[in-house]
Structure 1
Amino acid sequence: MTRVYLEIGPKKVFACSLEWPGWCRVAKGEEAALDLLMEYVPRYRVVAERAGLAFDPGDPEVVARVPGDRTTDFGAPHAICDLDHEPVARAEAERQVRVLRAAWELFDEVVAASPEELRKGPRGGGRDTSKVYAHVLEAERSYARKLGVRHGPYQSRADRDTMRAELAEVLSRPWNPGGDLPWPPRYAARRLVWHVVDHLWEIEDRRQ
């Protein structure tokens, strides 16, 4: 079994794993979200194995339901559940960072191996590869501020790597409730990894 919580928006539902950061899928309805989450087991396994972790999650067990909002319906896991405020031991923190680093590596590899022009949506929309990449990096800068890591716009790849190293260092620390961080680290790791792999998979799907 793998512990999952459901973020229930007005129109859509996110199913998110508590143990595996970034393994989240959204659909219309609880069962559809859970089914889609399990459909993505093979794709998430690539991330887990790159992190050096065995990934055999078993069936999902819903342990919490939290209210979502328009951001949920837009397609981002926005709600912080009570379980995210539980203490994070060093082993869990370091494991989350391994998954985050794996997601970064795979995303960079997919971007490098993909054409600039990606298949457009049915209405002709959708970013091309360089714009997806830039969007992910800019979102990371925004997310990092929720953990007290602040950087200006990147001038080089070294700037990006410096910020990512600081993010990884913050997330690798043990954590107890309290303090003044807007995001608890467990949620932050989930949101960071989810955003990277969601766009990684988008590029993979749209370059075919």
Structure 2
Amino acid sequence: MRGFGSFVSAARFCCALPVSPGIILGFPPKSLQNGRILTAFSHILRRVERTFAAGTKRTGARLMANQLRVTLEIGPKGKKVAAVAPDWPGLERGAKTEEAALERLQSYLPRYAQVAKLAGMDAEFADLSTVDVVEHYPGTGSTDFWGISFAFSSIDKQDLSSGALERELTLMQACWAFFDAVRGRVSAQMQKGPRGGGRDRDHIVDHTIHVEQIWAQKLGLHTPSDADRTDEGLRAHRDAYCNAIRAFHAEGKMARTWSLRYLIRHTAYHTLDHAWEMEDKDLTVGVR
């Protein structure tokens, strides 16, 4: 029995190694196929192999869960690159090179963590430990000019399950909630600078919501231009926006030429970009 126990211990050890357990136990391929060893230990080896495969699958799943997937959109002239985290709508940053775009994206992780917390996904977001660049794809002239994603990756074109859609809508709504919180605490006058021509807070807010109302037309929505003047009007617009996306998803429809996934992430990005702009230009002392 001692010898058998040693065999089982060795088998358990093998399950942690990235090669075939049978080979580690000293059984060459031919003996595994034709010899007496196969007859004596085949049922044990099958159990070991199943355990090994299951352990490998669990380990791979954990590694993937801890990775921040990133796609890189390359401008046609190579002037700008947009780094996009497709699993976290709104988390996108651009720069002049791939390396700089990735570095800038990662520098914004602490700021996006506030959005993840509002969405109830802070633990999931905090577990991200590595960046995995999963795709390079061509952008548009606007990518080169603005350093913003204006093209669709292969992930943007993938079908979404109902559960995945709700997750992305939850994150988009968290971006809205963050935007509202920021505009409620920053100064009315913004720090002057080249971006936006020195717009003040209300101008930035009006611009952000107005552009979103234009995109809503892709969903067949026509929101009153003054909907953002009251909390009730803005809430009604946003509820209609989300419900229209759900309806289009149920029918398998795109938002005109935009995939629903792109519409969600672009809406989230535009909202967050201007929320962060207001934070960066805030004249209130000790705002953050």
Fold match (TM-score > 0.5) = yes
Whether contact under 8 Å (2:90, 2:175) holds in the other structure is no
State the AA in 2 paired with 1:33: A
Question: Residues of 2 paired with 1:124 and 1:141: CA distance?
Answer: 20
Q: 1:104 aligns with which of 176, 197, 214?
A: 176
- Aligned partners of 1:93 and 1:173 also within 8 Å: no
Q: Compared with structure 1, are the counterparts of its residues 106 and 63 closer, same or farther at alpha carbon in structure 2 (3 Å cutoff)?
A: same
> Contact 2:255–2:263 (CA<8 Å) still a contact in 1?
no
Mapped pair 1:65 → 2:136: yes
1:178 Cα offset (Å): 5.3
Show structure 2 runs of 5+ residues with no match: 1-66, 284-288
2:191 to 107, 119, 143: 119
Aligned to 1:170: 244
2:83, 2:262 → 1: CA distance? 14
User: Could you tell me how far 1:176 is from its partner in structure 2?
Assistant: 7.8
1:197-208 alignment runs, 5 A limit: 197-208=272-283
2:263 corresponding residue in structure 1: 188
Equivalent residue number for residue 128 of structure 1: 200
Name 1:23's counterpart in structure 2: 91
Q: Which has the higher helix share?
A: 2
Q: Number of paired residues? A: 208
Question: Is residue 213–residue 222 contact of structure 2 (8 Å, CA) maintained in 1?
Answer: yes
Q: Name stretches of at least 5 consecutive residues in structure 1 with no aligned partner.
A: none
Shift of 1:191: 0.2
Change (3 A) 1:143 1:120: same
Letter matched to residue 71 of structure 2: Y
When residues 104 and 180 of structure 1 are mapped into structure 2, their CA distance, relative to the original with a 3 A threshold, is: closer
Q: Give secondary structure in 1 for the equivalent of 2:69.
A: strand
Residue 84 in structure 1 maps to residue 164 in structure 2: no
- The 1:104–1:4 alpha-carbon spacing in structure 2 relative to 1, beyond 3 Å, is same
Give the Cα–Cα distance (whole angstroms) in 2 for the partners of residues 61 and 173 of structure 1. Answer: 33
Q: 1:186 to 1:124 in 2, by over 3 A?
A: closer
Name the residue aligned to 2:117.
Answer: 49
Q: Per the alignment, in what secondary structure is the counterpart of residue 63 of structure 1?
A: strand
Equivalent residue of 1:82, what SS?
Answer: coil
- RMSD of aligned Cα (Å): 2.1
| Greater RCO, CA 8 A, separation 6+ | 1
TM-score normalised by structure 2 residue count: 0.67
Bigger mean CA offset, 188-197 vs 93-102:
93-102
Sort the Cα spacing of 1:32 and 1:159 in 2 relative to 1 into closer, same or farther, 3 A. same
Amino acid at match of 2:271: V
Select which of 64, 74, 78 maps to 1:8. 74
Q: Which amino acid aligns with 1:204?
A: E
SS at 1:146 equivalent: helix
Percent of matched pairs sharing the same residue: 36
- CA–CA distance in structure 2, aligned partners of residues 199 and 206 of structure 1: 10
The CA deviation string for residues 122-175 of structure 1, in whole angstroms up to 9 with x for no partner, is: 599321100000000001111212233332412542332222101112334684
**Which TM-score applies when normalising by structure 1?**
0.91
